[in-house]
């Protein structure tokens, strides 16, 4: 089955990933990203190839690929656009950002544009509330978006112009990011500014006020827990 789906080069890359893990089944997520970087989606063939390589059932691999929304069962375009519309982003305008991008591309949630350039997804949370509303392009952050700034990003990508993410490298494409998720050491970790003053505001205030977390308990400070179980030898009271 494997030879019908993947090349010898891909098989070698799969083995490189598997070798990173003491338990081979732990490689399933990275292998799914690798296959998605090549095929633009998670296909039945890819699931079979991964299952065969890891000595798992296809049901086990499918369970992972359908549980996590980053794995797609339909082909993603050149760029994946994710707009957060969860609580804080929504309050600060995330729905308006999503609608503007949807109108610009002429597509809705989990749809790909007719030219295959863009795939749009309404995201429940991007874990970036500090800079809400947030949009991601190929999983790179575009912070503090407005409807007009989000459309401007789409226009630049459509025109082939360079676009810098807010906190990471220049935007590449979906396939490149998926490959990074399979092989994280891509040499781009130092690009951009991953942490800014706003994200560290709480820590800064704590330091100014001399606040610190309580020390971790040690064996000498931990109190033994009292047993609430009745002595089996005791007779129940009347």
Q: In this predicted model, what pLDDT tens digit does every residue of 164-214 receive, in sequence order?
A: 999 899 999 999 999 999 999 999 988 988 888 999 999 999 999 999 989
Average pLDDT over residues 17-46: 96
Average pLDDT over residues 155-163: 97
With cut-offs at 50, 70 and 90, classify the pLDDT of residue 3.
Answer: very low
**What's the domain count of the chain?**
2
In a domain, 233, yes or no: no
Contact (CB, 8 A) for 18 and 54? yes
Q: How far is CA 96 from CA 38, 84, 108, in A?
A: 33, 11, 13
In a domain, 122, yes or no: yes
**Last residue of one domain, picked from the residues 156, 182, 208:** 182
**Last residue of one domain, picked from the residues 30, 45, 67:** 67
Rg (CA), the chain: 24
User: Cα–Cα distance between 156 and 162 in angstroms, integer?
Assistant: 7
Q: Which domain holds residue 123?
A: 79-182
Q: Residue 10: CB partners within 8 Å, gap ≥ 6?
A: 34, 38
Q: What is the DSSP string of 89-152?
A: HHHTTHHHHHHHHHHHHT--TTEE-TTSSEEEEEES--S-GGG-S-EEETTEEE-S--HHHHHH
CATH number of the domain where residue 59 is located: 1.10.10
In a domain, 21, yes or no: yes
User: Cα–Cα distance between 175 and 122 in angstroms, integer?
Assistant: 20
Are 109 and 178 found together in one domain?
A: yes
Are 178 and 133 found together in one domain?
A: yes
Are 132 and 157 found together in one domain?
A: yes
Q: In this predicted model, what pLDDT tens digit does every residue of 79-126 receive, in sequence order?
A: 999 999 999 999 999 999 999 999 999 999 999 999 999 999 999 999
CA nearest neighbour of 140 among 164, 110, 112, 113: 164
**Last residue of one domain, picked from the residues 67, 95, 112:** 67
Average pLDDT over residues 26-36: 98
In a domain, 34, yes or no: yes
In a domain, 99, yes or no: yes
Are 97 and 159 found together in one domain?
A: yes
Average pLDDT over residues 61-71: 96
pTM of the model: 0.84
């Amino acid at each position: 089955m494997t030879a019908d789906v993947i090349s010898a080069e891909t098989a070698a890359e799969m083995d490189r990933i598997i070798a990173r893990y003491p338990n081979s089944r732990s490689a399933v997520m990275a292998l799914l990203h690798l296959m998605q970087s090549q095929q633009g989606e998670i296909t039945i063939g890819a699931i079979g190839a991964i299952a065969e390589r890891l000595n798992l059932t296809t049901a086990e691999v499918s369970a992972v690929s359908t549980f996590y929304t980053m794995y797609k069962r339909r082909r993603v375009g050149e760029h994946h656009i994710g707009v957060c519309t969860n609580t804080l982003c929504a309050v600060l305008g995330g729905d308006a950002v999503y609608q503007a991008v949807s109108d610009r591309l002429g597509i809705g949630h989990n749809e790909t544009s007719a030219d295959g350039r863009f795939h749009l997804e309404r995201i429940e949370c991007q874990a970036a509330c500090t800079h809400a509303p947030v949009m991601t392009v190929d999983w790179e952050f575009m912070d503090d978006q407005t409807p007009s700034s989000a459309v401007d990003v789409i226009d630049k990508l459509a025109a082939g112009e360079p676009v810098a993410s807010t906190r990471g490298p220049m935007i590449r494409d979906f396939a490149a990011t998926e490959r990074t998720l399979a092989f994280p050491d891509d040499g781009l970790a130092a690009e951009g500014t991953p942490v800014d003053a706003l994200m560290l505001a709480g820590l800064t205030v704590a330091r100014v006020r001399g606040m610190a977390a309580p020390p971790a308990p040690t064996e000498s400070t931990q109190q033994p827990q009292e047993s609430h179980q009745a002595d089996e030898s005791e007779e129940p009271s009347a």
